[in-house]
Structure 1
């Protein structure tokens, strides 16, 4: 059986992205490479990582679609569970996230909200599902 070890998002500026996630969501950086091409956050069992698009292009020679904050988000999201969605949602907005969907309670009782990070990636901020 495989283990889900990490997600890597390709970004233009790894350091700025790490700083955003520290400010918006309270994560701590694990490290950023000296050249700023790659960095990781301490996020629990699964690592959230960022690679500079130039580095990613060396690994994927056929290219890929880059995230664009001005375009619609990809059909992909990263999700963070929190105790107080409204508070975490507002903290993310104050740190520079873009509003997508204000917190609302789903029929199953979960509180869910959405923002986009400074790179345009979709982030769900929600309570855990019991």
Structure 2
């Protein structure tokens, strides 16, 4: 995956979860992704998802500063929330599949005034 100086390629979305193996298994099954990797310690997992990899790591995982190599800890005990969006031609079928595979529904899919259909799911599965 090459990137030019003017247009870098967005390569990863990292999702911090409490259980990497459970989260990787859920997203693979519920959204039909292929597992790229799940390390033996279950501290890191990746899903094949096109050009951008969806990666999972433990919520309390430390971060490494790229310039100095020193280990950084998060500045607050909780990380910022993240919204993960999937695009489907049939949102209702995708919603049903996610719930059948363990997603906890918050609301049914709903049409928005700008033409999109959204469904919300609470955190869990990770």
Give yes or no for contact 1:14–1:36 (8 Å, CA) kept in 2. Answer: yes
Once the 2 structures are TM-superposed, how far is the Cα of residue 66 of structure 1 from its aligned partner?
3.8
Match of 1:33 in 2: 39
Query: 1: CA distance between counterparts of 2:63 and 2:90?
Result: 40
Query: 2: CA distance between counterparts of 1:101 and 1:65?
Result: 29
Instruction: Report the aligned-residue RMSD.
Output: 2.2
List alignment gaps of at least 5 residues for structure 1. Answer: 68-72, 121-130
Match of 1:89 in 2: 95
- The structure in which a higher percent of residues are strand is 1
List alignment gaps of at least 5 residues for structure 2. Answer: 1-5, 65-71
TM-score by length of 1: 0.74
Q: Quick one: which of 110, 119, 122 aligns to 2:116?
A: 110
- The structure in which a higher percent of residues are helix is 1
Question: Structure 1 residues 97 and 66, CA, compared in 2 at 3 Å: closer, same or farther?
Answer: farther
Give yes or no for contact 2:17–2:58 (8 Å, CA) kept in 1. Answer: yes
Match of 2:73 in 1: 61
Comparing 26-35 with 1-10, greater Cα deviation is found at: 1-10
Aligned residues: 113
